[in-house]
A and B are shown apart, each in its own frame.
Chain A
Amino acid sequence: MLLNSYTEMQQSNFATFCKTNIVQPIDGITENRIDRYRSLIRGAIVDNLESAYPITESLLTEEEWDLLADDFIANCKIQSPQIWKMPYEFYRFVDENDIYVKTKYPHLMDLLLFEWKEIELYMMEDKNDAVGNLSNTFNSESKIVINQEFELLQLSFPVHLKPSTQMSKQDEGAYYLLMFRSEDKIRFFDLSLFYVKVLSDILQNDLTVSQLTEKLIKECAGESSELFKENFLRFLTAMHSKGFILGFIN
């Protein structure tokens, strides 16, 4: 490298101060101005985090939020050059480190994931470009074409159903949240485990509507096949109208 170790050290010490507020020797600086950089960097990162995680920010006390943000800035080596992706690194940082607020708020990780996934889905590259012409109606021989811009989350707390400030340990359970982008908006569906299985069958098997129906009926003993079929077809229609099913190949 053409940079000598002295210059590299000066740059590193400057950056370290901006991240940590720890003063290390930096030659030739105007002492009362270096703080400006620390506040500009902190402002850029914290503004972005607050915009990405508004529910989390309002759940934590101001002191908890500030301490968490400062811990992140000081200790996370942010890898993405795209600032809009930085909140994911914040999620990972909280997940991977022993942080007090995770104990105080057991639903914190679910909440962060929920808020991040909304951004990620909203911004993600288009994936449905090549679907071609699809029918809006289906018959027993139709194949179902799914919107590929989706996430299916398994959560331990119903962060999508209940205000985070009212969440308690008693709410802990298994929750399934389908999130997808349709017409440039993010839509949310709380799913039962049964419909998670239905979705997984739709996604994993290249089957017609009738083949899927038969498969599901066979695997779901205890429910009348007519009622099941009716519910399944209603589910398909609802998911199509909401944009999760893009259409059908007849």
Chain B
Amino acid sequence: MKQFVGIGYRKDFGEDFFQSEILQPAFIEFAPENWMNIGGYWKKVLKRLADNYSITAHGLSLSIGSPDELDWEFLKNIKQFLSDYDISVYSEHLSYSKCDNAHLFDLLPIPFRYDAVNHVVDRIKRVQDFLERKMAIEIVSYYTPVAAEMSEIEFINSIVLQSGCDLLLDVNNVYVNAFNHNYDAKEFISQLPLRNVSYIHMAGHEKVSEDLIIDTHGQAIIDPVYELFDFTINKLETPVPVLLERDFNIPEMEELASEMNKLEQICSKAWSHVYAS
């Protein structure tokens, strides 16, 4: 069993996941929207995995940056899901996916603006109060800024520090954003409130043109992102869970295992001193 590295469970994994001993994840992540209030086969799968692994939850539809009111009924279901499966880590995206009373099922960029900071901070606090726990907010990949009046790093840091939430650091997203918006990824990471990082995501992406990378989660992680990951975790004071995300083009389990093993090796090397002491 791995010590640090988990995997996001996808229905496409099917029975292979159960029959294979190859992955040995430290934990398994579920998107609660796809798993709550269900029964039948998929509920059995969820229970079987929850009985054998620690579970984390990574939400898709909270829409923390939306102008629309928070959906309290939805949050009630989230709270129940977290309780039912004894989930300690709940994360969501720093974006909006619902607007003008309609869900869009993708992560739109919040304008980097002072009033948006206040708005998001207030909503994170209300969500955390309701859930009676901290949540981790993920830095999302974005392809265009919208009506920005501050930098991305200022926007993120203000929200994290003012709301007191945790940070989900998706290292691939930082790589993608740095490429797409022409900044230095390591410098960006160095400026984040790294003490608030409670969770890391890693994934692959696709370069679609000379100046644009899309965060697809459909390819293997590339070496420069592993390198950025190595750089990042060496700056953290304490170990945090690390997740491999793969949503499309699901490869053979051996291929996923190879990526997870590589991540685990980097973690073990960086964090061995914590356990040695």
A and B associate in one complex: yes
Do A184 and B100 contact each other (CB < 8 Å), given the known contacts A37-B108, A81-B74, A84-B34? no
Please count the residue pairs between chain A and chain B whose beta carbons lie under 8 angstroms apart in the complex.
Answer: 142
> Within 8 Å CB of A126, what residues of B?
39-40, 43
* A41 nearest in chain B by CB position: B106
Residue from A3, A81, A123 in contact with B103 in the complex, judged by beta carbons closer than 8 Å: A81
Q: How far is the CB of B110 from chain A (nearest CB, A)?
A: 7
Chain B's interface size range is 35 or more
Residue from A3, A26, A37 in contact with B67 in the complex, judged by beta carbons closer than 8 Å: A3
A152 within 8 Å of B by Cβ?
Answer: no
Chain A's interface size range is 35 or more
> Within 8 Å CB of B106, what residues of A?
18, 37, 40-41, 44
Do A79 and B96 contact each other (CB < 8 Å), given the known contacts A10-B146, A29-B144, A84-B34? no
> Within 8 Å CB of B40, what residues of A?
122-124, 126, 149, 181, 184
Residue from B42, B71, B119, B212 in contact with A33 in the complex, judged by beta carbons closer than 8 Å: B212
Tell me the chain A residues, 80-95 only, with Cβ under 8 Å from chain B: 80-84, 86
Tell me the chain A residues, 52-80 only, with Cβ under 8 Å from chain B: 76-80
Residue from A27, A44, A124 in contact with B146 in the complex, judged by beta carbons closer than 8 Å: A27
Residue from A30, A45, A86, A124 in contact with B38 in the complex, judged by beta carbons closer than 8 Å: A124
**Pairwise interchain contact A2-B118, C-beta atoms closer than 8 A:** yes
Cα(A45)–Cα(B104), bound, Å: 8
Contact string, B102-116, partner A, CB cutoff 8 A, digits 1/0?
Answer: 111110111101011
Contact string, B178-190, partner A, CB cutoff 8 A, digits 1/0?
Answer: 0010000000000
**Pairwise interchain contact A2-B43, C-beta atoms closer than 8 A:** no
**Pairwise interchain contact A15-B100, C-beta atoms closer than 8 A:** yes
> Within 8 Å CB of B98, what residues of A?
81
Q: How far is the CB of A8 from chain B (nearest CB, A)?
A: 4
Cα(A77)–Cα(B38), bound, Å: 23
**Pairwise interchain contact B67-A8, C-beta atoms closer than 8 A:** yes
**Pairwise interchain contact A29-B103, C-beta atoms closer than 8 A:** no
> Within 8 Å CB of A4, what residues of B?
115
Cα(A27)–Cα(B146), bound, Å: 6
Residue from A7, A29, A33 in contact with B115 in the complex, judged by beta carbons closer than 8 Å: A7
**Pairwise interchain contact A77-B61, C-beta atoms closer than 8 A:** no
Q: How far is the CB of B10 from chain A (nearest CB, A)?
A: 14
> Within 8 Å CB of B102, what residues of A?
15, 19, 76-79
> Within 8 Å CB of B272, what residues of A?
none
A100 within 8 Å of B by Cβ?
Answer: no
Cα(A27)–Cα(B67), bound, Å: 17
> Within 8 Å CB of B99, what residues of A?
11-12, 14-15
> Within 8 Å CB of B118, what residues of A?
2-3
Cα(A122)–Cα(B99), bound, Å: 30
Give the interface centre of B105, B115, B118, B148 by most chain A CB atoms within 10 Å: B105
A162 within 8 Å of B by Cβ?
Answer: no
Cα(A40)–Cα(B34), bound, Å: 19
Cα(A84)–Cα(B103), bound, Å: 13
Q: How far is the CB of B247 from chain A (nearest CB, A)?
A: 11
**Pairwise interchain contact A11-B66, C-beta atoms closer than 8 A:** yes
Q: How far is the CB of A69 from chain B (nearest CB, A)?
A: 13
A194 within 8 Å of B by Cβ?
Answer: no
> Within 8 Å CB of A26, what residues of B?
146-147
Do A33 and B103 contact each other (CB < 8 Å), given the known contacts A2-B122, A4-B115, A83-B34? no
Query: Contact residues of A with B, CB < 8 Å?
Result: 1-4, 6-8, 10-12, 14-16, 18-19, 26-30, 33-34, 36-37, 40-41, 44-45, 48, 76-84, 86, 122-127, 149, 181, 184
Question: Top 10 A-B pairs ranked by shortest CB distance?
Answer: A81-B61, A126-B39, A15-B99, A184-B41, A30-B144, A77-B102, A27-B147, A3-B119, A2-B118, A125-B39
Query: Contact residues of B with A, CB < 8 Å?
Result: 33-34, 36-44, 60-62, 65-67, 71, 74, 96, 98-106, 108-111, 113, 115-116, 118-119, 122, 143-148, 180, 212, 214
In the assembled complex, 12 residue pairs joining A and B whose CB atoms fall closer than 8 Å, in A order, are A2-B119, A12-B67, A12-B99, A15-B96, A28-B145, A29-B144, A34-B143, A37-B143, A77-B100, A81-B60, A149-B40, A184-B41
